[in-house]
Amino acid sequence: MPKILAIDDKQDNLISLVALLRNLMPECAVITALSGLEGIAKAVEERPDAILLDIQMPGMDGFETCRRLKADETTRPIPVVMVTAVRTDGPSRIKGLEIGADAFLSKPIDEQELVSQLKVVFRIKAAEDALRVERDSLENLVREKTVGLTRLSTAIEQSPETIVITDPEGTIQYVNPAFEKISGYTVSEALGQNPRILKSGQQDEVFYQELWKKISGGETWMGQIVNKRKDGTFYTEEATITPVLDEARRIVNYVAVKRDITEHLALTAQFEQAQKMETVGRLAGGVAHDFNNMLQAILGHTEMALAQVDPASPIFADLQEVRKAAQRSANLTRQLLTFARKQPIAPQIIDLNETVEGMLKMLRRLIGEDINLLWNPGRNLLPVKVDLSQIDQLLTNLCVNAQDAIEGVGTITIVTEATAFDKAWCADHTDFTPGEYISLAVSDTGCGMDREILSHLFEPFFTTKEVGKGTGLGLATVYGVVKQNNGFIHVQSAPGKGTTFKIYFPQQEPLAAI
């Protein structure tokens, strides 16, 4: 049973948090502490799987508590999620991460974000624990033996870790079955070769020279390295390369114990991206809210001035331009508020197919005659609960974005269908929650996007268009609409291969007939 330690100096906060965790994650045990010192003591004694740590505490605050937890070998591996209602600024987050915090949560706590972050830190801790135990076991076993073109023990043969043994010149003498599975090279293809067959070009020559200098000098090298499989795809390994010495302290072999951490790194990057989007959303929402208040004052005074000025006066035309600019700015703030999920919405049960069909005529006029709009509705779909006006906004933004990606003649395809995600699939996609959904996909035959663009796609004001051609808020608005209506979004794209935006909304039971 996973165990969570909650540290907060306010008893009421702990009671509420314990009740929330028991409701959301009944499979977890929850223990509490009312101070940093008490929390450290319980962390040492209980060895929890995660710690929820309040920052604002008298005496020893959350930063100092986290620093001490990460300085202790006993508690260092325990993931720490800092919780705060006050210290939500960028410098505070940076300070916490530098001390060793694994994640941040802002009060009031979003239930979905709480569960998602805890699940991620549980998986990361489990993976790191398994990696640590496996490596220690294998390294101890390998160091005890000097291995020639002979067999290793059954444990090494069955290990999920890649084991590579070379002679002092670097010629491969042994690889285990995990090497075949991960690299794509068979034993016969690897034996007699140099590990250079895995060279990816992602590290420069200095990297390899320093590695060789260290192990040839009798020291162990540890680090991450990007290698290339037989099929040409890259993967990242965490490796330990150890020289094996004979009785005369001469190097007779090198033993490499390596673990494929590509998926682990992807999961970590996904988690960091989710945190970044949450931080950007809070910033955008705060700025938009204050700016919107100022714009309303500008619009109000402009309207009063227009009512008092003769329409024939030159000042009247200037005031009209001020009003237009303020109204355009107000539209931008509404888009920012949508991204930040602070725009008021009125969700209702709708038939997604009927909604899309009602927009097709307008969308065809919007994208022009050179682009063919195809509509492929799924059959017998259950309804979804969303804000109807926001669906119009979402589809319009996606179709305009697709239109801009197509040079000349092309096709935009809109598809709806029913789909479901199980726990296993969601374990690798932390933004998703298991359940049954209706998907809305918008695909285009345009230029596509590379990984760098995809990593910034939904950030406010990010755009690849020329200056004056776009605000960079279209896809940020789409992101906000999807999240505000409890949905998920997934993007597939590659340069020259077009783009597909796939959005998922939870299925709803149809309203009973009257």
**Strands annotated E in 176-229:** 221-228
DSSP symbols for 437-449: EEEEEEEE-S---
In the three-class reduction of DSSP (H, G, I as helix; E, B as strand; rest coil), residue 498 is classed as coil
H helices then E strands: how many in the chain? 16, 17
Rounded CA gap, 378 and 359, in Å? 16
Q: What is the DSSP string of 282-349?
A: HHHHHHHHHHHHHHHHHHHHHHHHHHHS-TTSHHHHHHHHHHHHHHHHHHHHHHHHHHTT-S---EEE
The identity of residue 346, as a single letter, is A
Work out the number of other CB atoms within 10 angstroms of the CB of residue 438: 24
Is omega for the bond preceding 243 within 30 degrees of 0, making it cis? no
**C-alpha–C-alpha distance, residues 507 and 509, integer Å:** 7
The arrangement of strands across the sheet holding 499-506 comes to 371-376, 410-421, 435-444, 499-506, 488-493
Q: Which of 90, 95, 65 is closest to 80 using CA atoms? A: 65
Judge whether 51 and 39 are in contact, CB under 8 Å: yes
* Positions of the chain with pLDDT lower than 50, given as ranges: 146-148, 150-152, 512-514
- The residues, any chain, with a CB within 8 Å of residue 80's CB and separated by 6 or more, are 50, 51, 53, 66, 69, 70, 100, 101, 102, 103
* Alpha-helix residue ranges (DSSP H) falling in 56-161: 62-71, 90-99, 111-143, 154-157
What pLDDT does residue 307 have? 86
- What the block records as the tokens of 350 is 């709708």
To the question of pTM greater than 0.85 for the whole model, the response is no
Provide the CB-side half-sphere exposure for 90 (13 A, CA): 5
Cβ pair 448, 464 in contact under 8 A? no
For strands 347-350 and 371-376, give the pairing: unpaired
Residue 179 near residue 185 (C-beta atoms within 8 A) = yes
Query: Is the dihedral angle over the CA atoms 442, 448, 451, 453 positive or is it negative?
Result: negative
Task: Supply φ then ψ for residue 180, to 5 degrees.
Answer: -60, -45
Q: How far apart are CA 274 and CA 252, in angstroms?
A: 48
pLDDT value, residue 110:
77
CB neighbour list of residue 266: distance below 8 Å, 6 or more residues apart: none
Pairing of strands 29-33, 3-7: parallel
What is the three-class DSSP state of 472? coil
Helix/strand/coil for 375: strand
83-111 as b/e, with b when 16 or more CB fall inside 10 Å? Answer: bbeebbeeebbebbbebebbbbbbeebee
Question: Is the CA virtual torsion 117, 258, 225, 191 positive or negative?
Answer: negative
Helix (H), strand (E) at residue 208: helix 205-216
Query: Closest by alpha carbon to 140, among 260, 220, 248, 195?
Result: 220
Inter-axis angle of helices 62-71 and 90-99, to 10 degrees?
A: 20
Match 């990297």 to its residue by tokens: 207
Identify the bridge partners of residue 499 per DSSP, sorted by sequence position. Answer: 444, 493
